[in-house]
């Protein structure tokens, strides 16, 4: 899906500092307080949140929980900002930074659920380390997730799925789930997922808890 340049993207992000957290490192270990939530509130993170459709739908389905999205592309995250602003959503905040730096933003065991939806497959072998299911990324996810925290991954790219199945099978507990997504009426989808499904693409998932 081709990304279009948004002329005033930076201005949109800059003018919504109540939604886009300018210095996320300042909230390390304190994210629930930002949402005025107690320590028992579930906190979810989506890495590569795109235009925010998945997060906004998720936040509506679970209004008592808190949600964070990281997206480094300003021309993309500005669309998520607009959704959150227009819908007056209070339980979603965004981070316009590189997801590779999550250890700077989150304490050990701070996240309950972590989502990686339809990331760039980086198909060339020389780009393997950029894949969001490369072992070095998985180690970071393990740190910020609670011991019983759930990691969820989706892709329509069979090669990336097979690669991720190999790396995650070594990192997740033996009861992890994987395969083609079986859709129900209440399945919450991303923008990419909606488009891929309409084109007849198979969607694959991997879900589990880190060892």
Distance CA 168, CA 56 (A): 27
120 catalytic? Reply is: yes
Active site residue: 18, 98, 120, 148, which one?
A: 120
Distance CA 82, CA 79 (A): 5
Helix axes 53-61, 74-86, angle to 10 degrees: 30
Q: Classify residue 131 by its DSSP letter.
A: S
Length of the chain: 211
Element (H, E) at 55: helix 53-61
Active site residues: 120
């Amino acid at each position: 899906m081709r990304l279009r340049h948004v002329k005033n993207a930076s201005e949109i992000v800059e003018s919504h500092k109540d939604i886009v957290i300018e210095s996320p490192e300042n909230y390390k270990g304190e994210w629930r307080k930002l949402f005025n939530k107690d320590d028992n509130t579930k906190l979810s993170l989506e890495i590569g949140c795109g235009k925010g459709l998945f997060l906004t739908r998720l936040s509506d389905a679970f209004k008592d929980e808190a949600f964070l999205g990281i997206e480094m592309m300003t021309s993309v995250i500005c669309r998520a900002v607009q959704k959150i602003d227009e819908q007056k959503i209070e339980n979603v905040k965004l981070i316009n930074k590189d997801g590779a730096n999550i250890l700077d933003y989150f304490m050990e065991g701070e996240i309950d659920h972590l989502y990686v939806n339809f990331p760039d497959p980086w198909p060339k072998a020389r780009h393997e380390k950029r894949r969001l299911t490369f072992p070095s990324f998985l180690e970071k996810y393990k740190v910020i997730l609670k011991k019983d925290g759930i990691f969820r991954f989706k892709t329509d790219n069979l090669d990336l799925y097979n690669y991720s199945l190999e790396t995650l099978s070594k990192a997740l507990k033996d009861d992890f789930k994987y395969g083609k997504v079986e859709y129900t009426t209440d399945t919450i989808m991303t923008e990419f997922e909606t488009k891929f499904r309409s084109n007849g693409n198979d969607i694959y998932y991997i879900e589990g808890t880190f060892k």
